[in-house]
């Protein structure tokens, strides 16, 4: 198995694997199946194999549509394969990470599907601290400027991903509704 990811110049343009702005889990129609087929093709082009187990973990992440913890994935796997053990899921996640198909969200210790194979150069990830929704921002100039500022301050990033914590619009609206309802009940 290859661990090095190809350079941007070597990447073949492909359709998005997962776009969080559209249908969250891509389960309607054939979009989830086409995302899995795309991931399979992506791995084959690189001499790697998306084994049935790796594919199932990726499928579970696609179905989730948001950042998911490894033990939640393990629970889901045990529904399908009762003998699944933590190393099984972690090995699959390690492969998916090294292949660039998923991101590890350090701030909440969870994993999410990479939005777009052609852009998986680790942009900026915005993570909802309430529901775990993740949005990828692909603004290379913004990222470069941010990295330059970080380096000018004497730091080096510990990982490729830059994570921003926030509250998604749906969670913000729900919080606002709760506040309004609470104020009306007084």
Which residues belong to the annotated binding site for Fe cation? 122
Residues placed in the known binding site: 122, 128, 131, 168, 171
Return d(Cα 41, Cα 9) in angstroms, integer.
18
Alpha-carbon separation of residue 172 from 14, 129, 176 (angstroms): 33, 11, 6
Question: 13 near 118, Cβ under 8 Å?
Answer: yes
The secondary structure of 154-180, three-state, reads CCCCCCCCEEEEECCHHHHHHHHHHHH
Q: How many CB atoms lie under 10 A from the CB of residue 37?
A: 13
Query: What residues are designated binding site for Zn(2+)?
Result: 128, 131, 168, 171
- DSSP three-state, residue 138: coil
């Amino acid at each position: 198995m290859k661990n090095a990811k190809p350079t941007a110049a070597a990447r073949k343009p492909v359709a998005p694997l997962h776009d969080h702005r559209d249908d969250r889990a891509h389960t309607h129609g054939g979009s989830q199946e086409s995302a899995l087929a795309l991931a399979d093709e992506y791995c084959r082009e690189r001499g790697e194999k998306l084994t049935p187990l790796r594919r199932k973990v990726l499928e579970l992440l696609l179905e989730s549509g948001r950042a998911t913890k490894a033990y939640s994935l393990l629970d889901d796997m045990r529904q399908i394969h009762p003998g699944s053990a933590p190393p099984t899921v972690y090995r699959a996640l390690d492969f998916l990470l090294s292949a660039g198909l998923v991101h590890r969200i350090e701030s909440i210790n969870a994993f999410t599907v990479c939005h777009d194979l052609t852009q998986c150069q680790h942009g900026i990830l915005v993570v909802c601290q309430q529901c775990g929704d993740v949005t990828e921002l692909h603004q290379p100039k913004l990222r470069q400027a941010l990295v330059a500022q970080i380096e000018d301050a004497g730091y080096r990033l510990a990982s490729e991903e830059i994570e921003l914590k926030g509250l998604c619009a749906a969670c913000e609206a729900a919080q606002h509704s709760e506040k309004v309802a609470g104020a009306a009940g007084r």
